Amino acid sequence: MEGTLDSPARTSGGGDIYLPRPATLLSVSAMTASDAFFELALDGPEDLGHLPGQFVEVSVPGMGEAPISVCSSPTRKGSFQMLVRRIGSVTQALHRKSPGDKVGIRGPFGTSFPMEGELKGKNLLFVAGGIGLAPLRSAIQYALDRRGDFGRIAILAGTRSAAERLFTGELLEWKRRNDLTLLETVDQPSPGWAGQVGLITGLFGMLRLEPGPWAALVCGPPVMYRFVLRELRRLQVPSREVHVSLERRMKCGVGKCGHCQINGLYVCQQGPVFRAGDLFDLKEAL
C-alpha cells in the first residue's frame, strides 16, 4: 500500500487508516505573527469532500501529524484551506513551507455543523474566540454561499489583541454586507484599534436577536465556553440549538488512540462538533 504522486493513495476506506494522501500547497501566506493561511489541493482527481466543521490530519514527514480544521467551505471546490497557528513541531514546519511543497492529508474526520440538515432555515449566531474563527469560517462561508437557505446571520468575534485578528479582509467584507451582523472585540486596547474592547461576552449586550429560531455555532479557547453558554442561555437559545466545536489532544483521528476522550466521548468520532446540550452531564467537557 503506497501513496505517492504517481500512484494515487487509497482513501481511508479500505486501506491503511494511518496512510496520508499527498497534497500540494497552492498558496501560503502569513496572517498574523503566529498564524499562517494555506490553500491546498489533494494530488490526483479527488476532492477532499469535507463538511463544514470537519478536520484533517496534516502530516509533515519527520515532524509528525496535527489535526487541523478545514476553514473553507465545501461549496468552494477544487482546493481547501486551513489556518495554522505556529505552536509546535508540525505547525512550525508548516509555517516554513512554500507554495508547491507537499504535505500529507488524512481525513476529513469528525462531525460537522449540520448546515444541510437542521440548521437550514434557522437564524445563525456564530461566536468565535481567537483561532476558533477558523473552523467556524467554513460554516460562515457555507451560509453566505447558500444565503437563501438561512435566516438572519450574526457573527461575534473576539481576539486577545488587534494584531491577532484573523481573516481581516473577510471581516471587512462581512462588515460591509447588510445581510449579516458582525460584532468584534479585542481583549486589550491596542494601538490603531478603534473598535470594541473587552471580553467576547461583552458583545452579547450589544446584540439584538429578533424572535425566531436561533441556533448558535461556537468555537474558541477552553475557558470561553462556560461564559458564552451562560450568555446564550440568557438569550434563550435552547442548548440543543447550540453547536460547539471542541479541541482535545488527538493522535489518530479515528477513535483508537484514546487521547481525545471527554469522559466517555471521543472528540474525533462524536465530535469535534457537539451539541452543547449533550455535554452538560460531562464534567470534563466545558
Ligand X SMILES: Cc1cc2nc3c(=O)[nH]c(=O)nc-3n(C[C@H](O)[C@H](O)[C@H](O)COP(=O)(O)OP(=O)(O)OC[C@H]3O[C@@H](n4cnc5c(N)ncnc54)[C@H](O)[C@@H]3O)c2cc1C
The distance of closest approach from Cβ of residue 203 to ligand X in the complex, given in angstroms and rounded to an integer, is: 22
Choose between 4 and 27: whose C-beta lies nearer to other proteins.
4
124 binds ligand X (CB under 6 A): no
Q: How far is the CB of 8 from ligand X (least distance, A)?
A: 26
How far apart are the C-alpha atoms of 81 and 71, rounded to whole Å?
Answer: 6
User: Which pairs with CB-CB distance under 8 Å and at least 24 residues apart come from 91-94?
Assistant: 91/66, 92/63, 93/60, 93/62, 93/63, 94/36, 94/38, 94/58, 94/60
| Rounded Cα–Cα distance for residues 77 and 92 (Å) | 27
Question: Side chain identity at 178, as an amino acid letter?
Answer: N
Partner from ligand X, other proteins, none binding residue 202, C-beta < 5-8 Å depending on class: none
Residues 130-169, interacting with ligand X (CB under 6 A): 131, 134
Q: Which residue is nearest to ligand X (CB)?
A: 88
Which of these, 215, 38, 198, 188, lies nearest to 121 by C-alpha position? 215
Report, in Å, the least distance between residue 60 CB and other proteins: 8
Q: DSSP of 149-188, one letter per residue?
A: G---EEEEEEESSGGG--SHHHHHHHHH-SSSEEEEEESS
Is 57 one of the binding residues for ligand X (CB under 6 A)? no
Grid cell at residue 154 = 450574526
How far apart CA 260 and CA 231 sit, in angstroms, is 27
Nearer to other proteins, 146 or 251 (CB): 251
Hey, is 231 helix, strand or coil?
helix
Given the complex with ligand X, which of 17 and 197 has the nearer CB atom? 17
Nearer to ligand X, 41 or 197 (CB): 41
- Residue 2, binding choice from ligand X, other proteins, none, Cβ under 5 to 8 Å by partner class: other proteins
Do residues 267 and 246 make contact, with C-beta atoms less than 8 angstroms apart? yes
Spatial distance between the Cα atoms of 224 and 42, rounded to a whole number of angstroms: 34
Size of the site for ligand X (CB under 6 A): 21
Chain residues that interact with other proteins, rule: CB under 8 A: 1-5, 9, 12, 15-20, 22, 43, 59-65, 87-89, 91-93, 96, 101-104, 221-222, 247-249, 251-252, 254-259, 261-264, 269, 283-284
**Who contacts 119 (Cβ-Cβ below 8 Å, separation ≥6)?**
113, 150, 215, 243
d(CA 285, CA 266): 11
- 216-275: which residues touch ligand X (CB under 6 A)? 247-248, 250, 272
Q: Which does 84 bind (CB under 5 to 8 A by kind): other proteins, ligand X, none?
A: ligand X
Nearer CB in complex with ligand X: 31/41:
31
Tell me which of ligand X, other proteins, none is bound by residue 18, counting a contact when its beta carbon lies within the kind-specific cut-off of 5 to 8 angstroms: other proteins
Among other proteins, ligand X, none, partner that 134 touches (CB below 5 to 8 angstroms by kind): ligand X
Nearer Cβ to other proteins (104/158)? 104
Helix (H) or strand (E) holding 217: strand 214-219
Residues that bind ligand X (CB under 6 A): 55, 64, 66-69, 82-85, 87-91, 131, 134, 247-248, 250, 272
